[in-house]
Chain A
Amino acid sequence: MAELTRLTPARIALGRSGASLPTRELLRFGMAHAQARDAVHAPFDAEGVAGRLTQLGLEVIQVRSAVDSREEYLRRPDLGRKLSSESREALTARRGDFDLAIIVADGLSSTAVHQNIAPFVAALLPLLARQGLRLAPTVVAREARVALGDEIGEALGARAVAVLIGERPGLSSPDSLGAYLTFAPRAGLTDANRNCISNIRPGGLAYEHAAFRLSWLIAEAFRRSLTGVGLKDESDFALEAGTAGKSTIAGSGPGAEPPPISPDMTQKGDR
């Protein structure tokens, strides 16, 4: 069975001591858990992230949720879905006629944002430019949940929001970025109203492939005026049919999209 291990990052062919794990695997697992636990509490470098987005030519606004501390963030997801009053005022002052707002949020892994945001946004921007979208200022949000994007989008007057957020760290992937797309954002929407692309990181879904999927979903969302359960991701058909920039994903490997793990995620299956 050992030859199978090259086929998957899953912990297979571990061997056994009777019914139990061998000691070396017991300790390897324990260290991975320790790393993931530590990652949850790493501080978010919002200034550094904003700086890198500015270098990509984006106007950036920094905001924070109504949460005061990391501990409160973990216990009070409701506050992580609301803007602080100062942030709300700052966004309302920049209200305009925008198609899309990109929101960069720490979520449950600031490590994921630190490592992945600049190359992913760099891959995404040319595809958005091709669609001729009017972009709102890019928002960098601290102590944020996915649904904070609804209030941000509403305040800015954006027709859709793409929330790029650090996902809950796994033992094998403390650095996984998720992208949540919501059409007509407004307070009170649920995950049934969103489409998700997950596991964006060098060891998961490659930046170019994820950017293509998100761009495809954005185009379909505007064409059909919806996101969520009613919008099935058929971007792989678009790829197979060669209708949409095959060259943009060349070399990205056998990708796929959303294992839907957001800081708001409540259900293991379906979404």
Chain B
Amino acid sequence: MGYRVAAGGTSHVFADLRELMAKATPLRSGDQLAGLAAGSMQEMMAARIALADVPLRTFLHEALIPYEEDEVTRLILDTHKAAAFAPVATLTVGEFRDWLCSDAATSEVLARLAPGITPEMAAAVSKLMRNQDLILVARKCRVVSRFRNTLGLPGRLAVRLQPNHPTDDAAGILASTIDGLSYGCGDAVIGINPASDSLGRIGELLRLLDELIARFDIPTQGCVLTHVTSSIALIGQGAPVDLVFQSVAGTQAANTSFGVDLSVLQEGMEAGRSLKRGTLGDNVMYFETGQGSALSANAHHGVDQQTLEARAYAVCRAYEPLLVNTVVGFIGPEYLYDGKQIIRAGLEDHFCGKLLGVPMGCDICYTNHAEADQDDMDTLLTLLGTAGVNFIMGVPGADDVMLNYQSTSFHDQLYIREVLGLKRAPEFEAWLQRMDITDAAGRLSATQGGQALLAAIPGRAA
């Protein structure tokens, strides 16, 4: 079905819903690379005007990627909950924005709505929203998840401690981990991106984290971010796997390029749960995503990258994850060109994930070939902290010496806590106080309680 809009003295025609969605999207280099972006500012606004009049219901019977061709589309439509959708079933996309911003859309109402929202609906309404709308509505959405602590509670912000080392050296990883813990980081997860993809080395890293967490009785979880098939194999070998990691995308073809499909994700979740290592909950999955991954794999089906990113959250949602992390600026300038595009994408991703009921965090980051710098990260951190993001990264000095990109640092999380009064996960907060790392107010204590952690370094007495 085509769409026609007369605006600004010109008649704009959009062939189908897919084209309408793409051209309504705020400008980004990835959509330009794919040849999907609006050709002018007026065409973009005309597309938004037409999109505002599209009934939400349309997305239930007009799939952007054919049902027969794509298992992600099948997942979205087959698991849609009509009863949850009912409160907004008669609204258009534009009316949906008005409703989301209104007092009627409380935290409780939005939590009940989530299973009735498809990623395409979330993406569509986000395209009409300004940054402040994305913050305001996301702030009302709370998604709580549990493994050994409780993540996503109001007024709290968790941190993934990311102690990567260029050669996976155990002492080097421990040094970064202990430094991070002494800044009060690590409640979301202590998560290592391994330099190696060898099972033997990854098993060693899993045991390293397991022993550290057990030794100090830290109420958190460990993860080595390796392919889901490797985690399944390691679980079979008896390795101590807390969280099962996988990068995912919003189309079947893109997931194929990552070497996964929905059935292996299911297998990964079941393998992780079989170990029963969670003490407070069984949210065992950790997913990472990012706009542009489908196009990068030539698997975008002519759909804009922000809509595809929202579809990735529907994949995540099916496996009841502990953590979903949009690695927003990692992919490079051909998809998100500069700080402005990275900031916008980070807010869109967080909003869409939260609206869909996903425990959304953000790796606020950029690469050295993008037109961005640490000032842009400060801006996005401040905005996402305000929007209630579940977790961010804690990378030593913001410089990941293995993955070669810049993220947020141990210091950055102190900054955002101080400015916005955000606390850590409650169980982790209590542990930090027991260790005398923080005081009762959550501020780093002057007595350097983190010194006790140094005993974990090999060859060093307590």
Contact = CB atoms under 8 A, between A and B. Distances in A.
Interface in A178-220: 188, 190-192, 198-199, 203-205
Contact of B296 (A5, A232, A255, A264): A264
Interface in A224-258: 228-229, 232-237, 253-258
Contact of A171 (B182, B247, B327, B399): B399
A121 interface: no
Nearest to A169: B368
Chain A, interface size category, equals 35 or more
B369 A254 contact: no
Given A20-B411, A257-B195, A25 B397 contact: yes
Closest 8 CB pairs of A and B: A11-B397, A170-B404, A8-B172, A19-B414, A229-B259, A190-B257, A4-B175, A269-B225
28 contacts: A1-B179, A1-B448, A4-B454, A10-B165, A19-B415, A21-B411, A36-B368, A77-B296, A168-B367, A171-B399, A173-B166, A173-B401, A192-B257, A204-B167, A229-B229, A229-B259, A256-B166, A256-B169, A256-B201, A257-B195, A257-B197, A259-B195, A266-B330, A267-B290, A268-B193, A268-B330, A270-B226, A270-B258
A256 B192 CA distance: 14
Given A229-B259, A256-B196, A267-B290, A74 B399 contact: no
Given A40-B368, A232-B199, A258-B195, A33 B165 contact: no
A105 interface: no
A12 interface: yes
Contacts of B415: 19-20
Interface in B186-208: 193-201
A29 interface: yes
A52 interface: no
A13 B179 contact: yes
Contacts of A192: 256-259
B374 interface: yes
Contacts of B369: 40, 74, 108, 168-169
Given A8-B401, A16-B414, A258 B197 contact: yes
A86 interface: no
A29 B386 CA distance: 26
Given A1-B450, A10-B172, A232-B230, A268 B403 contact: yes
A266 B195 contact: no
Contacts of B197: 232-233, 257-258, 260, 270-271
Contacts of A258: 195-197
Nearest to A170: B404
Contact of B175 (A8, A39, A78): A8
B404 A234 contact: no
A172 interface: yes
Interface of B: 29, 33, 163-169, 171-176, 178-179, 182, 193-201, 225-230, 245-247, 256-259, 288, 290, 292-293, 296-298, 327, 330-334, 337, 363, 367-369, 373-374, 396-406, 409, 411, 414-415, 417-418, 448, 450-451, 454, 457
Given A7-B457, A12-B397, A267-B258, A33 B411 contact: no
A76 to B, nearest CB: 7
Contact of B404 (A233, A254, A261): A261
A9 interface: yes
Contacts of A198: 195
A-side interface mostly? loop
Contacts of A75: 29, 33, 333-334, 337
Contacts of B327: 267-268
Interface of A: 1, 3-5, 7-14, 16, 18-21, 25, 29, 32-33, 36-37, 39-40, 74-78, 108, 167-173, 176, 188, 190-192, 198-199, 203-205, 228-229, 232-237, 253-261, 264, 266-271
Contacts of B374: 29, 33
Contacts of B298: 188, 190
A266 B403 CA distance: 12
A4 B451 CA distance: 11
B367 to A, nearest CB: 6
Contacts of A4: 175, 178-179, 454, 457
A228 B194 CA distance: 17
Nearest to A172: B401
Contacts of B333: 74-75
B396 A12 contact: yes
Contacts of B165: 8-10
Contacts of B179: 1, 4, 12-13
Nearest to A192: B259
